[in-house]
Each structure stands twice: as structure tokens, then as C-alpha cells.
């Protein structure tokens, strides 16, 4: 077996971390992955390190995964962090409410979420 590249190793680590915390979903929006073997298969596929695909398909999978990771980092960097003058988005407020375990958050408006988080 060949040694994975640094990019492949980082991708596998990120996916397995998501699995460990219950955040890895089948197909992106499906139910959470429960099987460690399935999580490993997803990680290898995203990293482009599976032996079930051609080298060209593996390179394309890794390229696609890295592009998604870059896009997510750009959104995080610009989401509510422009000098402190702008307000956080409703999605950011909802995520914080979810992290804190605030009940009824799904029916709250942006203003109600801000009030509940204070």
C-alpha cells in the first residue's frame, strides 16, 4: 500500500473526526453514519485513496473535496466577522443556539434568537 499524501491524510482525519462526533452523514443530508467501516469508506473515497476507483477518479475526488473545504473556509471567514460592525446571520445564531441547547430555536426569528442567546 502506498503512503497517502498530506492532503489525503488531512481529509481522512477530518472525516473520521466528524464520524467520532456524530456529524458524518450518508450522502451529506441522510442519517448519521453508525458504522466505522462505512466512515472509513467515505473517508477514503473523499481523500481519493480508495482501491475501488481508477487513479483519475481518485484525483478528481480529492480535487472536489479540497474545493469544498476551501469554499467552507471562505464562508466561515466572512460569516459575521467583518470588523464587528455587522450582525451575525440567522444561521450563525441558530448554530450557537443549537450548541447551547436552547429549546424552541427552530421556530424563533432572528431577533428572538438574539434575545435567547443574551
pLDDT of residue 26: 86
Calculate the CA 40 to chain-centre distance.
16
pLDDT digits (tens, 9 = 90+) for 64-98: 999 888 888 877 777 655 555 578 889 899 999 99
pLDDT of residue 79: 65
Kindly give, in sequence order, each residue whose CB lies less than 8 Å from that of residue 55, ignoring residues fewer than 6 positions away. none
Residue 11 CB-density burial (10 A; 0-12 exposed, 13-18 middle, 19+ buried): buried
- Give dist(CA 50, CA 36) in Å, integer: 16
pLDDT of residue 87: 80
Q: What is the pTM of this model?
A: 0.58
pLDDT of residue 85: 54
If we measure between CA atoms, which residue out of 17, 12, 16, 29 comes closest to residue 65?
12
pLDDT category of residue 113 using cuts at 50, 70 and 90: very high
pLDDT digits (tens, 9 = 90+) for 12-57: 999 999 999 998 998 878 899 999 999 999 999 999 988 889 999 9
DSSP letter at 31 equals S
pLDDT of residue 88: 86
CB-based contact 68:60 (threshold 8 Å): no
**Cell numbers for 98:** 443549537
**Cell numbers for 92:** 450563525
Amino acid at each position: 500500500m502506498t503512503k497517502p499524501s498530506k492532503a489525503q491524510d488531512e481529509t481522512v482525519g477530518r472525516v473520521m473526526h466528524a464520524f467520532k462526533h456524530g456529524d458524518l452523514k450518508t450522502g451529506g443530508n441522510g442519517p448519521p453514519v453508525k458504522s466505522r467501516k462505512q466512515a472509513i469508506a467515505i473517508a477514503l473515497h473523499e481523500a481519493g485513496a480508495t482501491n475501488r476507483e481508477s487513479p483519475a477518479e481518485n484525483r478528481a475526488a480529492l480535487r472536489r473535496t479540497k474545493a469544498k473545504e476551501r469554499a467552507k473556509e471562505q464562508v466561515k471567514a466572512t460569516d459575521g466577522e467583518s470588523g464587528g460592525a455587522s450582525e451575525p446571520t440567522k444561521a450563525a445564531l441558530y448554530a450557537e443556539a443549537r450548541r447551547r441547547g436552547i429549546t424552541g430555536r427552530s421556530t424563533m426569528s432572528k431577533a428572538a434568537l438574539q434575545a435567547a442567546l443574551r
